[in-house]
């Protein structure tokens, strides 16, 4: 609670500051301070209650993910926001803090209604953050994000009300108990499907992905970084908690030859659709931001492959991968934002000869994009490997083929994705710059937003167990204590 209070208070202070005409960097500074304070609170303050409340869990998993949200949020704040600087930095960063607060509340929620409220706190802040610059593109992004988000929120709420009607409880464990008693009913399944659709929107899974390319292109880079990294990580965690704690009995099966209706099969279908659409559409992009948007859709597909196996180890691998993915996308966005400031746009050809203009950025971009493509020794490789091998191990027993159809598709499409990442890197490393070598200086705080994620990706790539082990163990504890 202390964590949240600190964040909200600072957020309010920021909003009050806006008329005093503080320079832009003050916004970044205060936001950084707020996040660090929250992190300190998370580390040092005694937990209010070890086990949390029926509404809000405070288990190790929630604590790890609060730290993840704060870390990814901090890097996002450091990402240069936009081509033109934001006009009202006070309001902007206050909303950033509100969004992060919402995400941190979402992480531990055990109650469907509380979950909804916390998610909406984050979402409403993000809709506003997407439309902050007064440009037509930002307005389009914000409106699309809001409309799709509103519809998905309605789905989520309707699903929750159906589930409450079926189980007379809105806590996850209550729903699980009620469902364990009776046979799966039509309203129960419909409610589950609607909750899945609502959360699928957060994660930009096909067919709920239409907002993603426009938001990635039009919104300020800081906003995109939060949407892509922290918000996605939390969305996945919520999905894991809801499905594996609330609905272990409605999993169905997605394994080859044993398919049965349930969330596992639905996720498998969404996964296949997201991977195919995301990767194929990414091939055709000429702007790096849109390319990252379609790569986000494809990566949701890989995550869903692991969730479709409906086991704790693959879910642990998915949680690991979503953090790694967030770091890589966030860093790539930071480099893109800096290139935009120098060159005016994010087209792939604007990256030509980056190695000569700024070797530091070029090498870091290499780290981010190759991690996304899953090339060792970067964290994306063990991430994908853990996703796929655990998904196979938990779905294929006694020599049955299991999810091999989905894992095979994922492996091949993931290999194909190297093509479009290399299309960017080719220009960065092998081409000469079209215009001269002039470049703006990179403020040190922006350099940190590039350097720290890159360093984290290298460390996690060589020693993936540093994060994979605690995450898997925490998730297993949480599931066992349901």
Partner 1 sequence: MTPTWTISSAFAGALLVLLPPARMAGSARIIALAASLVGMIAAALSCLARLNHPDAPVWRFDAPWIPCMGIRFHLAADGLSLTLLLLTGLIAVAGVLFSWNVEKRPRAFFAWFLTIIGGVYGVFLSRDAFLLFVCYEIVILPKYMLIAIWGSTNREYGAMKLTMYSIGASALILIGLVAAYAAAGATSFDLLHLAGADYPAAMQAWAFPVLFLGFAVLAGMWPFHTWAPTGHVAAPTAASMLLAGVVMKLGAFGALCVAMPLFEQGLGLWKPLIAGLAVVGIVYGALTALAQKDLKFVIGYSSVSHMGFVLLGLAAANHWGLRGAVLQMISHGVIAGLLFGIAGRVVYERTRTRDLAALRGFDLWRSLPGAAVAFTLATAASMGLPGFSGFVAEISVIVGLWKVYPWLTVGVAIGIIITGAFSLRALQKTCFPARPPADAATAPPLPPLTWPEISAIGLLLAVSLAIGIYPKPWVVLIDDGLRSPLFQSILPLP
Residues at the interface with partner 1 (CB under 8 A): 313, 316, 370, 375-377, 381-382, 385-386, 388-390, 392-396, 399, 401-402, 404, 407-408, 411-412, 414-416, 418-419, 422, 426, 429-430, 464-465, 468-469, 472-473
Cβ neighbours of residue 443 closer than 8 Å, sequence gap 6 or more: 25, 80
Q: How far is the CB of 281 from partner 1 (least distance, A)?
A: 18
CB of 204 to partner 1, least distance (A): 24
At its nearest, how many Å lie between partner 1 and the CB of residue 398?
8
Closer to partner 1 by CB, 248 or 401: give it.
Answer: 401
**Separation in Å, CA 24 to CA 189, 382, 424:** 49, 39, 31
Closest CB 450 distance from partner 1, rounded Å: 18
Can you tell me the distance from the alpha carbon of 473 to that of 112, in angstroms, rounded to the nearest whole number? 24
Whichever of 2 and 418 has its CB closer to partner 1, that residue is 418
What SS3 class is residue 358?
coil
Confirm if 298 and 275 have CB atoms less than 8 A apart. yes
Supply the minimum distance, in Å, between the C-beta of residue 361 and partner 1: 15
Nearer to partner 1, 159 or 312 (CB): 312
CB of 338 to partner 1, least distance (A): 22
Closer to partner 1 by CB, 24 or 385: give it. Answer: 385
Give the chain's end-to-end CA distance (angstroms, integer): 22
> C-beta of 236: minimal distance to partner 1 in Å?
19
Distance, in Å, from the CA atom of 54 to the CA atom of 238, rounded to the nearest integer, reads: 16
As a whole number of angstroms, the distance between CA 255 and CA 388 comes to 14
For residues 300 and 303, what is the distance between their CA atoms, to the nearest angstrom? 5
For residue 217, give the nearest of 313, 159, 294, 163 by alpha carbon: 294
Beta bridge partners of 347: 287
Kindly list the distances between the CA atom of residue 195 and the CA atoms of 132, 452, 482, in Å, as whole numbers in the listed order. Answer: 29, 35, 20
Identify the three-state secondary structure at position 399: coil
Closest contact distance (angstroms) between CB of 271 and partner 1 is 16
From its phi and psi, is residue 402 left (phi > 0), alpha (psi between -120 and 50) or beta? left
Place of tokens 């997201």: 274
């Amino acid at each position: 609670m202390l964590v949240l209070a600190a964040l909200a208070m600072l957020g309010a202070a920021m909003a009050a500051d806006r008329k005093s005409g503080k320079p832009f960097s003050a916004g970044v500074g205060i936001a950084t301070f707020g996040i660090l304070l929250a992190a300190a609170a998370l580390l040092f303050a005694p937990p209010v209650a070890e086990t949390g409340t029926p509404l809000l869990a405070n288990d190790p998993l929630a604590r790890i993910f609060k730290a993840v949200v704060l870390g990814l949020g901090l890097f996002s704040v450091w990402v240069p926001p936009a081509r033109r600087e934001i006009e009202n930095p006070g309001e902007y960063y206050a909303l950033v803090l509100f969004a992060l607060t919402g995400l941190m509340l979402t992480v531990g929620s055990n109650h469907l209604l509380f979950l909804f409220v916390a998610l909406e706190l984050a979402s409403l802040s993000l809709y506003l953050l997407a439309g902050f610059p007064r440009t037509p593109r930002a307005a389009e992004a914000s409106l699309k994000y809001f409309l799709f988000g509103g519809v998905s929120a309605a789905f989520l709420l309707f699903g929750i009300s159906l589930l409450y009607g079926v189980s007379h409880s809105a806590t996850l464990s209550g729903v699980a108990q009620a469902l364990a008693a009776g046979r799966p009913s039509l309203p129960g399944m419909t409610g589950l499907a609607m909750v899945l659709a609502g959360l699928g929107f957060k994660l930009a899974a096909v067919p709920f992905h239409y907002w993603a390319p426009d938001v990635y292109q039009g919104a300020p880079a800081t906003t995109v970084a939060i949407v892509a990294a922290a918000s996605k990580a939390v969305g996945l965690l919520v999905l894991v908690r809801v499905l594996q704690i609330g609905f272990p009995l409605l999993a169905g099966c997605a394994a080859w030859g044993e398919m049965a209706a349930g969330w596992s099969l639905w996720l498998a279908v969404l996964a296949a659709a997201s991977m195919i659409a995301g990767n194929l559409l990414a091939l055709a992009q000429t702007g790096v931001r849109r390319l990252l948007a379609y790569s986000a859709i494809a990566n949701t597909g890989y995550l869903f492959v692991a969730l479709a196996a409906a086991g704790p180890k693959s879910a642990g691998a998915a949680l690991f991968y979503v953090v790694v993915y967030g770091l890589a996308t966030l860093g790539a966005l930071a480099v893109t934002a800096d290139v935009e400031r120098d060159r005016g746009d994010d087209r792939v050809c604007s990256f030509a000869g980056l190695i000569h203009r700024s070797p530091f950025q070029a090498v870091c971009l290499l780290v981010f994009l190759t991690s996304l493509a899953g090339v060792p020794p970067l964290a994306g490789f063990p991430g994908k490997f853990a996703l796929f091998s655990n998904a196979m191990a938990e779905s294929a027993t006694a020599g049955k083929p299991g999810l091999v159809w989905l894992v095979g598709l994922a492996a091949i499409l993931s290999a194909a994705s190297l093509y479009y990442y290399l299309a960017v890197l080719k220009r960065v490393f092998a081409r000469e710059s079209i215009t001269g070598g002039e470049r703006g200086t990179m403020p040190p705080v922006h350099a940190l937003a590039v350097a720290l994620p890159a360093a984290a990706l290298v460390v996690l790539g060589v020693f993936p167990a540093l994060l994979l082990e605690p995450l898997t163990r925490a998730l297993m504890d949480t599931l066992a204590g349901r």
